[in-house]
Amino acid sequence: MATVDQAAAELQPLLRGTYVDPSARDYDEARALYNAMIDKRPAGIARCADVADVIAAVRYAREHDMRVAVRGGGHNGAGLGSVDGGLVIDLSPMKGVIVDPHTKTARVQAGALLGDVDHATHAFGLAVPAGIISTTGVGGLTVGGGLGHITRRCGLTIDNLLSAEVVLADGTPVAASPDENPDLFWALRGGGGNFGIVTSFEFRCHEVANVIAGPVLYDLDDAAELLAWWREFGPAQPDELGGFFAFLSVPPGPPFPEELHLRKVCGVLWCYCGSEDDPACLREARAFGRPLLDGVGPAPLPALQSAFDAVYPPGDQWYWRGDFVQAIPDAAIERHVEHGAAMPTWKCTMHLYPIDGAASRVAADTTPWAYRDAKWAQVIVGVDSDPANAAAIRQWCIDYWEATHPYSMGGAYVNFMMDEGQERVQATYGGNYQRLAEIKSEYDPENFFRINQNIRPA
Ligand SMILES: Cc1cc2nc3c(=O)[nH]c(=O)nc-3n(C[C@H](O)[C@H](O)[C@H](O)COP(=O)(O)OP(=O)(O)OC[C@H]3O[C@@H](n4cnc5c(N)ncnc54)[C@H](O)[C@@H]3O)c2cc1C
């Protein structure tokens, strides 16, 4: 194991980027994660400027027996983008995005954030389907799966991955695609950061520039009725209409009317990404019940995908749990209504994201994402800016999860998990776990990449 001074002296000259160790002025800034509940102190952070830096950092860590964490956007809820006492291979300086409008593809470096991709693709009227907050990293989101507003029409992010460039556990750079290292390519599409460090992704883009979208919010007393209606209505709609159900508190600022600020509500955030100006499905969706607020209107997709950024800046306390859901029986609705009403702080929320439509028309073994028959990915999110509320948001989240988990399919989206143990990881990959373990033993037999939702070598 290298000493801190030795690493600074030996690794820095090998990098075009910078090496940050605990003596550096910007160490605290460089080690901070999006989730402030997690406070890790790495031995050093290699801020990689290019693929050569990534190779050098991997080789250095191997030679000196250092534990390694890979950091893209630093958004991982469980803090898997950092490691106590080890080396963080930080890809955040690598943010390049090149769009080819002729082939409708985008080559994205692994340190890019979702907002970087939206910015680059939107200029061409194109989009890569990904997540709903622009500061999330493309790296972690993609290797876990990737779901968001346009999933029903365009599929998961992994369904749009065409190829990747990867640095393996021994420092070798390789390509992964249906033609080159196809096993590795299969595993990267949902198997997390277990198989190597992706340095760039090639995505298929879709012609989605503007959407008609926004929240329709209701009184909490309407939650049971709304959820019972939405569970039938949503899956019956054309793929162009997505809408996730949420419990939330109305944010205390514009554009929300003052009389609703901080009121606990339920609602659906609708997003229509088709070509009609006034689609019947969205008209029908908005006609349901007696909304407190209807904020649906035309918007550029990047505006929608950054609409929550101000509410959820980096540095809040986060604790979340997820599940895949195929049906929401009335008994589950009762549990949702009870726990949704008990959100302990105003940033707490619960979302049920639709993952049917295009995402469900992929076979369960085409990628590691085993739950193609799930209709929704549920996430219960305890959030607050005050560390004094950390225990309360965590407990609320766990209580809510324990009450609704029995109605779930057993596994969860890996990117909506905390550190919940091997059983949960195995449940998440279901019938695909064994193949993942075999590919792991081929590409990373010593489990060098283990700061992740870990798949142990077979
Ligand atoms: C506010 C917020 C909103 C979110 N919204 C969505 C959403 O809408 N849709 C969705 O699908 N998910 C969403 N997520 C979950 C998100 O996908 C995960 O948190 C994901 O891990 C974030 O990726 P990152 O690169 O920012 O993470 P990091 O913390 O940087 O990395 C996490 C882990 O990902 C792996 N990893 C990262 N980059 C690479 C790489 N280049 N090669 C190999 N492995 C890598 C590593 O194992 C690493 O430990 C959201 C998360 C937050 C906090």
Distance CA 413, CA 146 (A): 9
Between the CA of residue 256 and those of 262, 283, 286, 310, 383, what are the distances in Å? 10, 21, 18, 13, 20
141 lines ligand 1 (CB under 6 A): yes
Centroid of chain to Cα 303: 18
72 lines ligand 1 (CB under 6 A): yes
What is the pLDDT averaged over residues 174-200?
98
Report which of 367, 306, 361, 350 is spatially closest to residue 151, judged by C-alpha positions: 361
| Matching residue, tokens 């329709």 | 216
Coil, strand or helix at 271: strand
Q: What is the signed CA dihedral for 140, 144, 148, 151, rounded to 10 degrees?
A: 140
Between the CA of residue 22 and those of 27, 81, 87, 256, what are the distances in Å? 6, 17, 12, 43
- The residue nearest atom 8 of ligand 1, judged by CA position, is 131
Report which of 83, 87, 74, 85 is spatially closest to residue 14, judged by C-alpha positions: 87
Coil, strand or helix at 404: helix
Question: Strand pairing partners for 48?
Answer: none
> Residues with Cβ < 8 Å from 162, sequence gap 6 or more?
105, 177, 202, 203, 204
Is 2's pLDDT higher than 80?
no
pLDDT value, residue 1? 60
* Chain segment 241-281, per-residue pLDDT in tens: 999 999 999 999 999 999 999 999 999 999 999 999 999 99
Is 166's pLDDT higher than 80?
yes
139 lines ligand 1 (CB under 6 A): yes
- The residue nearest atom 53 of ligand 1, judged by CA position, is 75
* Chain segment 117-151, per-residue pLDDT in tens: 999 999 999 999 999 999 999 999 999 999 999 99
Distance CA 59, CA 307 (A): 40
Distance CA 148, CA 125 (A): 18
- The residue nearest atom 51 of ligand 1, judged by CA position, is 75
pLDDT value, residue 7? 76
pLDDT value, residue 9? 80
pLDDT value, residue 163? 98
| CA 329–ligand 1 middle distance (angstroms) | 31
pLDDT value, residue 381? 98
Distance CA 115, CA 97 (A): 11
Average pLDDT, the chain: 97
The confidence band for 8, taking pLDDT boundaries of 50, 70 and 90, is confident
Coil, strand or helix at 177: coil
| CA 291–ligand 1 middle distance (angstroms) | 34
What is the pLDDT averaged over residues 163-191?
98
Q: Which residue type occupies 313?
A: P
Question: Are 335 and 404 in contact, with CB atoms under 8 Å apart?
Answer: yes
| CA 137–ligand 1 middle distance (angstroms) | 5
76 lines ligand 1 (CB under 6 A): yes
* Chain segment 17-68, per-residue pLDDT in tens: 999 999 999 999 999 999 999 999 999 999 999 999 999 999 999 999 999 9
Distance CA 45, CA 51 (A): 16
pLDDT value, residue 48? 98
The encoded tokens of residue 65 equal 């027996």
The confidence band for 3, taking pLDDT boundaries of 50, 70 and 90, is low
Atom of ligand 1 nearest to the CA of 196: 43
Over the range 370-379, which residues count as b (16 or more CB within 10 Å of their CB) and which as e?
bbbebbbbbb
What angle do the packed helices 390-404 and 330-340 form, to 10 degrees?
170
Between the CA of residue 190 and those of 292, 310, 349, 370, 427, what are the distances in Å? 38, 28, 25, 9, 14
Using a 10 angstrom Cβ sphere, with 0-12 exposed, 13-18 middle and 19 or more buried, the burial of residue 365 is: middle
| CA 331–ligand 1 middle distance (angstroms) | 32
Distance CA 188, CA 144 (A): 8
* Chain segment 410-428, per-residue pLDDT in tens: 999 999 999 899 999 999 9
